[in-house]
Amino acid sequence: MGAGREQQATVGPATGDAVTRPGGPDRPVPLLLRIFAFSVFFFPSSMVIGPLGAVGTVPMILGGLLLALWFASAVFGLHDPLAARHPARLAVGVLLLATFASYVALYSGWSGTSTVAGRASADRWLILLLVSAGIVMVVAETVRTLDHALVLVRAVLAGAYFCSLVALVQFQFGIDPVQWLQQAMPGFTYNGGDTTFQLRGGLVRVAGTTFSPIELSVVCAVLLPLSIWRAIYDHRGRMWLHWVGTGLLVFAIASTVSRSGILGLLIVLLIFLPFLPSAARRWAMIAVPTGLAGLFLVMPGLVGTLFASFTAGADDPSISTRTNNYPRVVALVEERPLVGAGPGNYLPDNALHILDNQYLNSLVTIGTLGLVGISCYLLVPGLSALMVARTVGNPQLKVLAGAVSAGTLAAGLCSLTFDSMSFPVFALIYPVLVGLSGAVWLLAGSTSASDVGGDAWTR
């Protein structure tokens, strides 16, 4: 293992430098972007600056600064925003156009009488999308090499590992360290919305620093392939620590006892494993069943609870609640089919009316235009990254593209099981993956992207 690690450290930087986009690697990944990526997991999204409301979280403010700096640099000619063409940018653009149409219809009265709460919700949704678009652009335009991708992924995973550690403490000891973070944020007020502990069967589900267990499970499943890619190719730090972090993500998924998390895990494994180097695939065949067996041993009752939740069928309240809402969705869509009720304007009066499906939520609020837009946003980046993974020659870029594709497609498919864009950690970390999808597309189009490099795992 030590010799293999030494081989990897020797060839890692060379492999990263082998794929460089035109424009050169002279500009490092912005520090603000790395701080933002970590802050999404570190600062509780339930804590806001009072006058700003729900958009006044630390990650949203930092994301807004990224958008402002990107826009200012384009205005002053410091970069050409039209030069970086990739499918992910088109997907974001389609969703923004659909949102603008619905937003204008709401404020003009075309979609019916609006309320103060409805207009505020529309404003929050539009701000979120604009900030997300800025994140996508900044990531795609600043990740110019594979080494740049490693720098950004380290920051993302550092936050995700911290979140998973918090989940471990919550699960094992029944205490919530997030409360300590909330108390250490003077000037911020508690805005609610988070549900750290939930019961399922005989187990207590936890949320880490996210809003709910389902959000934690999906986000960790989405980031798992990137963690494996980093563990294989990152020459900085100790390999065993990288794998411990990867194990923390798996534990976090299990600690949520979430069907959505299991679905996300199966999706990422199905898509990602074929793109791993042959040696890594052989290790995966050993690690996956061993890890699952270990989880079932240290978490008594996990198997029974998961089996019961998957086989409950219509008797499960969480499933029956979803299906019972379908007639309401049909009626709402028939009332305003094209532009919906307005962005963010599905405001259920009780928890039983929550749709738990991002596509249906978008159909009701932004109409059929919004359904097309959200489908593009949640699926096109993953499909474009999958195309890169299938065609590119560089092994490290192939695995990165496979990881991005697996993560984004898992996010898109799991959005069928919960209203993903209503959850702040998911809504802000997903654009980072969309930006990485654009980055791998641009890297694959560079002249040296077809170069075949070596690494210790291909031998």
Tell me the per-residue pLDDT of 72-101, one tens digit each, with 9 for 90 and over.
Answer: 999 998 888 888 899 999 999 999 999 999
> pLDDT band at residue 300, thresholds of 50, 70 and 90?
low
Nearest in space to 91 (alpha carbons), one of 325, 443, 444, 435: 435
Looking at residue 385, its pLDDT comes to: 98
Task: Identify the H or E element spanning 205.
Answer: strand 203-206
Q: Please state, in angstroms and rounded to a whole number, the distance separating the CA atoms of residues 14 and 58.
A: 36
Say which residue, 112 or 135, is predicted with more confidence. Answer: 135
Measure the CA dihedral 445/450/451/453, to 10°.
Answer: 100
pLDDT at 10 exceeding the cut of 90: no
Domain boundaries in the chain? 13-458
- pLDDT mean over 48-59: 93
Looking at residue 176, its pLDDT comes to: 95
Looking at residue 227, its pLDDT comes to: 96
**Least confident stretch, 55-64, 344-353, 396-405:** 344-353
Dihedral sign (CA 296, 302, 307, 309): negative
> pLDDT band at residue 353, thresholds of 50, 70 and 90?
confident
> pLDDT band at residue 308, thresholds of 50, 70 and 90?
low
Task: Identify the H or E element spanning 25.
Answer: none
- pLDDT above 70 covers a percentage of the chain that reads 85
> pLDDT band at residue 187, thresholds of 50, 70 and 90?
very high
Phi, psi of 199 (to 5 degrees): -100, 135
**271 beta partners:** none
- pLDDT mean over 339-362: 87
pLDDT at 2 exceeding the cut of 50: no
pLDDT at 330 exceeding the cut of 80: yes
Q: Please state, in angstroms and rounded to a whole number, the distance separating the CA atoms of residues 133 and 210.
A: 22
- pLDDT above 90 covers a percentage of the chain that reads 64
Instruction: Count CB atoms within 10 A of the CB of residue 177.
Output: 16
| pLDDT, tens digit (0-9, with 9 covering 90-100), for 401-455 | 999 999 999 999 999 999 999 999 999 999 999 999 999 999 998 744 444 334 4
Nearest in space to 401 (alpha carbons), one of 429, 436, 375: 436
Instruction: Give the amino acid at 184.
Output: A
pLDDT at 4 exceeding the cut of 60: no
Looking at residue 304, its pLDDT comes to: 58
Say which residue, 458 or 49, is predicted with more confidence. Answer: 49
Looking at residue 453, its pLDDT comes to: 39
Residue 115 burial (10 A CB sphere; 0-12, 13-18, 19+): exposed
Looking at residue 206, its pLDDT comes to: 93
- pLDDT mean over 254-282: 90
- pLDDT mean over 345-368: 88
Which two structure tokens, joined as six digits, stand for 401? Answer: 């593209």
State whether residue 47 is helix, strand or coil.
strand
Most confident of 14-23, 337-346, 380-389: 380-389
**Least confident stretch, 190-204, 265-279, 301-315:** 301-315
Q: Please state, in angstroms and rounded to a whole number, the distance separating the CA atoms of residues 12 and 456.
A: 9
- Whole-prediction pTM value? 0.89
> pLDDT band at residue 356, thresholds of 50, 70 and 90?
confident
Say which residue, 35 or 349, is predicted with more confidence. Answer: 35
> pLDDT band at residue 237, thresholds of 50, 70 and 90?
confident
Which two structure tokens, joined as six digits, stand for 84? Answer: 């970086």
pLDDT at 14 exceeding the cut of 50: no
Say which residue, 239 or 19, is predicted with more confidence. Answer: 239
Looking at residue 372, its pLDDT comes to: 97
For the chain, give the mean pLDDT: 86
pLDDT at 18 exceeding the cut of 90: no
Looking at residue 322, its pLDDT comes to: 72
pLDDT at 203 exceeding the cut of 90: no
Dihedral sign (CA 438, 408, 419, 371): positive
Say which residue, 261 or 321, is predicted with more confidence. Answer: 261
